[in-house]
Amino acid sequence: MALVYVDDVLFFGTSDKLIDKVIRDLKKNFDLSEEGTVEAFLGVEISDLGKGKLARQTFLIQRVIQAVGMEDSNPTKTPSNTIALDADDGGPVRVETWNYASVVGMLLYLAGNTRPDIAFAVHQCARFSHRPKKCHEDAVKRIVRYLKGTHEKGLIFKPTGELILEAFVDADFAGLWGVEEPQDATCVKSRTGYVIRLGGSPLVWKSKLQTLVAVSTMEAEYVALSACMRELIPLRRLLLELQGVFSFKSSVARTACTVFEDNQGAIALAKVPAMTPRSKHIAIPYHFFREHVRRKEIDVVHVSTDDQLADMLTKGLVYRSSSRNCERCSWDGNSDGVCDLMVIPMVFVVSIYFVVEI
């Protein structure tokens, strides 16, 4: 299997000989240069820990810190305040000279690849890139201070016995009400947050405002559930295909993928075979996954709010809750006392030895 990005290729295979053969065949038609073992790919640094491979973006974090000029700042324990950001029209203007959009862009790349713990905070700041005020500037600086104290955190790739595909879904109903101006339609929009785990490890995550205006908590949660299914169902199909090639153990072949939701109304609506008076106004496209639930490919079950991993993707949390969610997304602390955020199993990836530049 080859992962291609423009002129960079990352090869996955069950043996070194197989990867060598593919590269030799490609050299017959293309001018290739072998980079050897994988030490970095698309800005993600990869190192061997013995128990697995660690992927992190310390270089990008240092670039962000330098761009904002906060090399001597003190770290903070959480990436965002518990109060949501608003447009702050009429508020104090920015006082710093660094490029707000550029820094937010780097943070978005970081949040989307190796740092789900800052996804909510960064998305809040990204909403105001067109006209940032001092409060948005301070919010970015808080994220940078948080990264300064957690720059060693990253992803751990480690083999597991069986790959279990599951998801956690949450929504913050009208979370900006009372924060944004009442005449702004955004103030009544809800936020979707979900994290999909493979082998007990986060694989895909998202924090995003919903495009429609939900009229109830149940509807907001159901829309978030539908958004998660658009990612989960294709991943399930891909995992089945890979299982046939690499012969690894996976739960998707024998049982349903479990989706954890903390709203009983959304769970009931996902399992009911017909429309109800309170749900008939919900747009038809949001109901597409019901067929997969009926065929027992997906199982939507209840989880308590305290155990909802996606909670950190819908709102700013206090340190205790934020720390607990990060710990539940981790394997364990490494020898340096650094808590690893994520563990992505690579049971079907035996060799990752060549990065080839075309």
Confidence of residue 2 (pLDDT cuts 50, 70, 90): confident
Given phi > 0 = left and psi -120 to 50 = alpha, else beta, which region is 203? alpha
Give yes or no for residue 76 having a pLDDT over 60: yes
Least confident of 25-29, 62-66, 330-334: 330-334
**315 with 84: CB under 8 angstroms?**
yes
Give every CB contact of residue 215 below 8 A, 6+ residues apart in sequence.
281
CA distance 306 to 322: 11
Report, as an integer, the average pLDDT of 269-282: 76
Q: How many CA atoms lie within 13 A of 36 on its CB side?
A: 1
Task: Tell me which residue of 24, 63, 23 sits closest to 45, measured CA to CA.
Answer: 63
pLDDT the model gives residue 352: 38
Q: What is the pLDDT of residues 276-293, one digit of tens each?
A: 766 777 877 888 899 999
Domain boundaries, the chain: 2-55+344-357, 58-153, 160-313
Torsional sign, CA 249, 253, 256, 261 = positive
Dihedral of the CA atoms 156, 161, 165, 170 (nearest 10)?
Answer: -50
Radius of gyration of the chain (CA): 22
Are 292 and 231 in contact, with CB atoms under 8 Å apart? no
Taking the C-alpha atoms of residue 213 and residue 220, their distance in angstroms, rounded to an integer, is 8
- At 336, list the tokens: 């340096």
Q: Can you give the pLDDT at residue 192?
A: 96
Any long-range contacts for 323-331 (C-beta under 8 Å, 24+ apart)? Answer: 323/77, 325/117, 326/117, 329/116, 329/195, 329/201, 329/202, 331/156, 331/158, 331/201
Single pTM value for the model: 0.85
Q: Are 176 and 349 in contact (CB under 8 A)?
A: no
Between the CA of residue 256 and those of 183, 301, 331, what are the distances in Å?
A: 44, 11, 24
DSSP H or E stretch at residue 290:
helix 290-294
Q: In whole angstroms, what is the distance from residue 91 CA to residue 101 CA?
A: 19
Q: Which residues pair with 167 in a beta bridge?
A: 196, 259
Domain 160-313 has CATH 3.30.420.10: yes
pLDDT tens digit sequence for 204-243: 999 999 998 998 999 999 999 999 999 999 999 988 888 8
CA distance 132 to 346: 41
Q: Is the distance from CB of 310 to CB of 194 less than 8 angstroms?
A: yes
Give the pLDDT band (50/70/90) at residue 320.
Answer: low
Q: Parallel, antiparallel, or unpaired: how do β-strands 44-48 and 355-357 relate? A: unpaired
Residue-wise burial string across 306-321, b where 16 or more C-beta atoms lie within 10 A, e elsewhere: eebbbbbbbbbbeeeb
Instruction: Give the bridge partners for 266, in sequence order.
Output: none
DSSP secondary structure letter of residue 285:
G
The DSSP secondary-structure symbol of 313 reads G
Cα dihedral 261/258/301/216 (nearest 10) = 30
Which is nearest to 213 in space by CA: 246, 185, 183? 185
Q: Look at residue 322 in the predicted model and tell me its pLDDT.
A: 60
Q: What share of the chain is helix, strand, coil (3-state, %, to 5)?
A: 40, 20, 40
